[in-house]
Amino acid sequence: MIRYIRWCAYFCALLLVALLVNIARVQVWKSAAYGANPANKRPAIARYAEPRGDILVDGRPVTGSRDSGQLLRYERTYKNGPLYAPVTGFSSQTYGTSFVERAEDGILAGTDPGLSAFPLWYDLTRGRPAGGNAATTVRAGVQLAAYAGLAGKRGAVAAVEPATGKILALVSSPSYDPSVLSGTGTRVKEEWARLNADPARPMLNRALRETYPPGSTFKIVTAAAALDAGVVTDVDAPTETPDPYPLPGTSTLLPNAGTGCQDASMAEAVQWSCNTVMAKIGVRVGLRGMVEAAERFGFNRDGPRVPSWVSRSNFDTDMSQDQLALSSIGQFNTRATPLQMAMVAAAVANGGELKSPYLVERTTQDDGSPVRRGDQRSLGRAMNPATALRMQELMVKVVENGTGKNAAIPGAVVGGKTGTAQHGVGNAGTPYAWFISWAKAEGAPLPAVAVAVVVEDAAADRGDISGNLAAAPIARAVMEAALAAR
């Protein structure tokens, strides 16, 4: 019997070995796969177990964390939620993250390896660093000026610092309070459904993600292309353009909104926004030249990461001459984001060099020690320095004595360009009013700000007047705030 008892003991030992091998398989070999299973709630619980780091504007947090006592514990709160929503985005237990909340999620949630002082330290201790902070380039005063300017209207404002690419303001109107999306439960789901069903689309970030026909503001690109290509050598020379201008190869006549465009020079054409002259100049530059110029400004590229992605602005690369003529004045298929048009103004103000716009100045640990700095990168040269100087003069004239007088600021050099874009079937929709501009304090070496403003429901009915009436005052307020903030 002794022998058989031993065999039984061996059998039990075998069972024990099987158990040990299996738990090693489950706990070591399969551990990562189980952790990555979307039905496993543990990563989400761990993620929200600690307060999230903050997003800073002017060094002050515009976000906060609230202990909900729920399973996914810390919920996001926002100070001035609607004002900063296009910058921060939302951070929701139910719907994930967007914009800076998404782009800097690793830092804010405390999972970024850069937050650890020693490599593998938190892997060893199984702890997690406190969430870090993301300091934005946004200036509170500039943002507030833009938001207040748009109040009650649909539209967007993008403001950048031309020499660095820092985004000083990003506003989209109407906006929403991202804090209603924080947390879980039916209330959050209802708010999400309501925001998505709202015809005003408050969650759309119009400054980065919506493209509009840029209208006459695109004439800045056309003019720069003509100067760079040598198509126009003297900006004050008459261009021998009829008014109205028959589109090449068709019998369609392109009219002007105002008078005095007959045979006008390019300087006058920019100043008074002559469609006929600029369309003709675009055709003379040619498809290839126009496409290359537009692409140097950032069109047809996947939008820059700011660090959120930006919609692609479009300038068609395969067009007939009449289509090219329309495209050269920002109609036809030409579309641009407000940020893209702010970059156009910034390139002019910055002597032709285009800086990549960015929104996160630096990321820090919880205690403020730096993790990463936002890097200033150049996107290359949009135009020659001489062309840029010439363009600055043309844009200043628009504000001093042209279609953009409403943007003038005493004691500062301001250059601008109005625009109105028809849209809708048969141009039935209310035109979009545009204004792009830049401003430099008198005697300052560098421009302070470049701005693009779009107002969707411009009240004025015709022409560039609406750009000057609806959009230019907002741009002026933003530029004033930026000049004051320096």
Partner 1 sequence: MTALTAQVAEPAPPPPPDARAPKRRGVELTLLAGAVLISVLGHLYVGLTTTGRVPRPAAQYAAGLAAAALLAHVAVRLRAPYADPLVLPIAVLLNGLGLVLIQRLDATTPGHLTAGDQLLWSALGVALFVLVVLVLRDHRVLQRYAYLSVTVALLLMLVPVFFPAVNGAHIWIRFAGLSFQPGEFAKILLAVFFAAYLAANRTALALTGRRLFWKLRLLPGRVLGPILAIWLLSVGVLVLERDLGTSLLFFGLFVIMLFTATGRIGWIAIGLLLAAVGAYAVGTFEPHVHSRVDDWMNPFASIERGEGPGQLAQSLFAFGAGGLLGSGLGHGQSFLIGFAAKSDFILATAGEELGLVGLAAILLLYGLLVARGFRAGLALRDPFGRLLATGLASIVALQVFVIAGGVTGLIPLTGMAMPFLAQGGSSVVTNWIIVALLVRLSDSARRPAPQEPPE
Q: Please identify, among the stretches 14-22, 75-83, 114-122, 325-333, the one whose residues bind partner 1 according to the rule CB under 8 A.
A: 14-22
Residue type, 288: R
Q: Please identify, among the stretches 3-11, 99-107, 110-118, 387-395, the one whose residues bind partner 1 according to the rule CB under 8 A.
A: 3-11
- Work out how close the CB of 349 gets to partner 1 at its nearest, in angstroms, rounded to a whole number: 55
Is 216 assigned a catalytic role?
Answer: yes
If one asks whether residue 70 binds partner 1 (CB under 8 A), the answer comes out as no
Q: Please identify, among the stretches 40-48, 130-138, 241-249, 330-338, the one whose residues bind partner 1 according to the rule CB under 8 A.
A: 40-48
Going by DSSP bridges, is the β-strand pair 360-364/412-421 parallel, antiparallel, or unpaired? unpaired
- Work out how close the CB of 16 gets to partner 1 at its nearest, in angstroms, rounded to a whole number: 5
If one asks whether residue 6 binds partner 1 (CB under 8 A), the answer comes out as yes
Between CA 167 and CA 147 the distance in angstroms is 15
If one asks whether residue 33 binds partner 1 (CB under 8 A), the answer comes out as yes
Return all residues near 467 (Cβ < 8 A) that are at least 6 apart.
215, 216, 217, 403, 404, 418, 419, 420, 433, 434, 435, 458
Show the beta-strand stretches assigned E in 288-357.
353-355
If one asks whether residue 186 binds partner 1 (CB under 8 A), the answer comes out as no
Between CA 400 and CA 253 the distance in angstroms is 31
DSSP state of 305: P
Between CA 277 and CA 265 the distance in angstroms is 8
Between CA 215 and CA 168 the distance in angstroms is 24
- Whether the bond into 370 is cis, omega within 30 of 0: no
From the list 179, 216, 313, 328, the catalytic residue is 216
Site for partner 1 in 115-144 (CB under 8 A): 126
Between CA 232 and CA 344 the distance in angstroms is 20
If one asks whether residue 39 binds partner 1 (CB under 8 A), the answer comes out as yes
If one asks whether residue 16 binds partner 1 (CB under 8 A), the answer comes out as yes
In the bound state with partner 1, the residue whose beta carbon lies nearer, of 16 and 193, is 16
If one asks whether residue 376 binds partner 1 (CB under 8 A), the answer comes out as no
If one asks whether residue 31 binds partner 1 (CB under 8 A), the answer comes out as yes
If one asks whether residue 20 binds partner 1 (CB under 8 A), the answer comes out as yes
Q: C-alpha distances in angstroms, 441 versus 387, 403, 446?
A: 21, 22, 8
If one asks whether residue 40 binds partner 1 (CB under 8 A), the answer comes out as yes
If one asks whether residue 11 binds partner 1 (CB under 8 A), the answer comes out as yes
If one asks whether residue 15 binds partner 1 (CB under 8 A), the answer comes out as yes
Q: At which residue do the structure tokens 């320096």 appear? A: 486
In the bound state with partner 1, the residue whose beta carbon lies nearer, of 1 and 151, is 1
In the bound state with partner 1, the residue whose beta carbon lies nearer, of 27 and 369, is 27
If one asks whether residue 24 binds partner 1 (CB under 8 A), the answer comes out as yes
In the bound state with partner 1, the residue whose beta carbon lies nearer, of 40 and 320, is 40
- Pick one of 22, 320, 369, 401: the residue that binds partner 1 (CB under 8 A): 22
If one asks whether residue 27 binds partner 1 (CB under 8 A), the answer comes out as yes
Paired tokens of 468: 């000057």
If one asks whether residue 19 binds partner 1 (CB under 8 A), the answer comes out as yes
Between CA 35 and CA 56 the distance in angstroms is 32
- Work out how close the CB of 8 gets to partner 1 at its nearest, in angstroms, rounded to a whole number: 5
If one asks whether residue 2 binds partner 1 (CB under 8 A), the answer comes out as yes
Half-sphere exposure of 361 (CA within 13 A, CB side): 16
Return all residues near 30 (Cβ < 8 A) that are at least 6 apart.
none
Q: Please identify, among the stretches 28-36, 106-114, 311-319, 321-329, the one whose residues bind partner 1 according to the rule CB under 8 A.
A: 28-36
Q: C-alpha distances in angstroms, 330 versus 3, 255, 260, 353?
A: 96, 15, 21, 22
CB-count burial class (<10 Å; 0-12, 13-18, 19+) for 208: buried
If one asks whether residue 18 binds partner 1 (CB under 8 A), the answer comes out as yes
Q: Please identify, among the stretches 30-38, 54-62, 439-447, 453-461, the one whose residues bind partner 1 according to the rule CB under 8 A.
A: 30-38
Half-sphere exposure of 130 (CA within 13 A, CB side): 11
If one asks whether residue 189 binds partner 1 (CB under 8 A), the answer comes out as no
Q: Which of the residues are catalytic?
A: 216
Q: Which residues bind partner 1 (CB under 8 A)?
A: 1-9, 11-13, 15-16, 18-20, 22-24, 26-28, 30-35, 37-42, 45, 126
